[in-house]
Amino acid sequence: MTTHPKTFPIGIDLLHDPTLNKGTAFTEEERDTLGLRGLLPPTVHTQQTQLTRVLGNLRQKTSDLEKYVFLIALQDRNETLFYKLALEHLDEIMPLIYTPTVGKACQEYSNIFRRPRGLFITAKDAGRMEEILSHWPNADVGVIVVPDGERILGLGDLASSGMGIPVGKLALYTTCAGIHPRRCLPVSIDVGTENEKFLKDPLYLGLKQHRVRGEAYDALIDEFVTAVGKVFPHALIQFEDFANQNAFRLLKKYQKKICTFNDDIQGTAAVAFSGLYSALRITKQKLKDQRLLFFGAGEAGTGIADLTVAAMMEEGMTEAEARACCWFIDSKGLVVQSRKDLAEHKIPYAIDHKPLIDNMDIVDSFKPTSLIGVSGQPGVFTEDILRRVAKLNERPIVFALSNPTSMAECTAKDAYRFTDYRAVFASGSPFKQVTNGGKTFVPGQGNNAYIFPGVGLGVLASKSKFVTNEMFLAAARALAAEVTEEDLALGRIYPPLTKIRQVSATIAQATAEVAYKRGIAQQPRPTDLGAYIKSLMYIPDYENYV
């Protein structure tokens, strides 16, 4: 499905429109018809020839950050070619346009800035939200990704420099699920920062003030949500990289009022639970017999636990029994009922147990089948802990999910070698395959890109009023079903990225089915839902230009 502006630009304006520009691929006839004669070199090149050129140039860059800047520049001048490159070389491109490289790009955002992409909304714009949203040139926005920059990946408060996150996420919406780039809107809500380095940096592009909090903060978010409903009434809002104290309560506040979700809570939960579901096919165990020890009790950890508890209850366990299978470690040790400092989202998982501080003591007490790393603490899965969990389990499940790579709880190599190559391993950022004794182990990457693009596509296809937790459970199961026996034989618990569009279409259908089942879809159900969803997917080929 191709979406174009009502007024089609010509000449130099056309070459400056990244969604319409084909560069040297404009044909002789198009050059005459569209006023391009003389504005381009004389030779007409195919898209494949252009791909050869840009891929060669990309591979000459000496650092991942340079490659990121190169790719963003390509996206800024020719989106069709950018997405063609990303789709055909996703294994190579995804780590550059998203995690882990996007973390470094956000840290250096003010230094590498070339041109704006998306909308920048600040605390000083209170009262003008609807006006600012109306400045966006495309009225048919389908997906908005919006952070406030307080918790960018595992890197902390990067404020408006976190704009790289929604830009990257939306690039994956298009690459992985085929949502047209014109329907994607990245937004940064800048309420200030506590990052003293930024506050003192003359090149910093964001508000140089400490963060607005309390009622003024809530009013700004509420005005934004209300304005989106008026300007882009069919848009899905994805909240991204909010700090714990805001993420949970904003999700709770808006989840049943508007079409929204929080990817750090729900998307991470779905991809992790899907990995667990697949891992059980390797370990030959049942979900009800799992004991999950979470290192980190924030958005990701409790989101994963919530989804796991819901699945366990579907299999006959009581809520109390299911929650007892999930123990949490935070910065102060084991999350127990006697503690008086617990945030609201931790309380349901506080156990009746004596306080424990030492991680090894907690492992010995709980005897986990799975280690779930969502702590942002690199190396917290130590050699001793990995060896201990390997003694407790024939096939221990080890998920080091913190992003970027530098924040992972352990490396793939360590997870395998310290468990005598028996671990079922997955990580948030990519790790290279590991070989031992002639056998190759392919680490699974629990990347949210397996989940949120497909969920978004399903929501748009059905025009669902809301995004529900049930949708994420359905998405997780649909993703797990895409993992083949051949994948499992390699230790891989997610399908290869080469199948991402097929996977996203399958997840979109599962998501839409929930919307129709629950009566929250506003689009009449097509006779062939799967075919309809695939018909909506943008294909980045010049043949689909008009």
Let me know if 169 is a catalytic residue.
yes
Give the pLDDT score at 309. Answer: 96
Task: Identify the residue whose tokens are 């191709």.
Answer: 2
Model confidence at 545, pLDDT cuts 50, 70, 90, reads low
List, as one string, the DSSP characters of 30-63: HHHHTT-TTTS-S----HHHHHHHHHHHHHH-SS
| Three-point CA angle 403, 82, 40, nearest 5° | 150
Q: How confident is the model at residue 1 (pLDDT cuts 50, 70, 90)?
A: very low
Say how many Å lie between the first and final Cα of the chain, rounded: 10
Is residue 3 pLDDT above 70, yes or no? Answer: no
pLDDT tens per residue across span 442-489: 998 999 999 999 999 999 999 999 999 999 999 999 999 999 999 999
What pLDDT, on a 0 to 100 scale, did the predictor assign at position 154? Answer: 78
Select which of 67, 169, 254, 450 is catalytic. Answer: 169
What is the chain's length?
Answer: 546
Mean pLDDT across 67-77? 97
Judged against a pLDDT cut of 50, whether residue 428 lies above it is answered with yes
Average pLDDT, the chain: 95
- Over residues 314-348, the pLDDT tens digits come to 999 999 999 999 999 999 999 999 999 899 999 99
Distance from C-alpha of 478 to C-alpha of 355, rounded to nearest angstrom: 39
Q: Is the dihedral of CA 514, 520, 521, 524 positive or negative?
A: positive
Residue 405 pLDDT > 90: no
Region 525-539: mean pLDDT is: 97
Closest to 266 (Cα-Cα) out of 313, 300, 310: 300
Q: Does the pTM exceed 0.75?
A: yes
Q: Which 3 state secondary structure label does DSSP give 289?
A: helix
pLDDT (0 to 100) of residue 4: 43
Told to judge if 98 belongs to the known catalytic residues of this protein, a careful annotator would answer yes
Q: Is 529 left (phi over 0), alpha (psi -120 to 50) or beta?
A: alpha
Name which of 252, 56, 29, 234 is nearest 143 in CA terms.
Answer: 234
Average pLDDT, integer, range 50-75: 98
Q: Phi and psi dihedrals of 518, rounded to 5?
A: -90, 0
Angle at CA 387, nearest 5°, toward 385 and 393?
Answer: 100
Q: Give the torsion through C-alpha atoms of 192, 198, 200, 201, to 10 deg.
A: -130
Reduced to 3 states (helix: H, G, I; strand: E, B; else coil), residue 146 is: strand
Rounded mean pLDDT, 361-367:
98
On the question of pLDDT at 546 being above 70, the answer is no
Note the helical H segments in 8-152: 11-15, 28-33, 47-60, 64-77, 79-88, 90-97, 101-107, 109-112, 129-133
The pLDDT confidence band at residue 491, using thresholds 50, 70 and 90, is: confident
Q: Which of 68, 83, 98, 349 is catalytic?
A: 98
Query: What pLDDT, in 10s, does the model give residues 110-137?
Result: 999 999 999 999 999 999 999 999 999 9
Sheet holding 333-334, edge to edge: 333-334, 326-330, 292-295, 370-373, 397-400, 424-427, 444-445
**Quick one: average pLDDT of 135-161?**
94
Which pLDDT score is estimated for 92? 95
Q: Structural domains in the chain?
A: 72-242 (3.40.50.10380), 266-446 (3.40.50.720), 450-537 (3.40.50.10380)
Would you place residue 429 in the very low, low, confident or very high pLDDT band (cuts 50, 70, 90)? confident
- Cα-atom radius of gyration of the chain, to the nearest Å? 23
Dump pLDDT digits (tens) for 286-302: 999 999 999 999 999 99
Q: Which residues pair with 143 in a beta bridge?
A: 184, 236
Whether pLDDT at 307 is above 50: yes
Which is nearest to 533 in space by CA: 454, 449, 452, 451?
454
Give per-residue pLDDT as tens, 219-277. 999 999 999 999 999 999 999 999 988 999 999 999 999 999 999 999 999 999 999 99
* Res. 86: pLDDT tops 60: yes
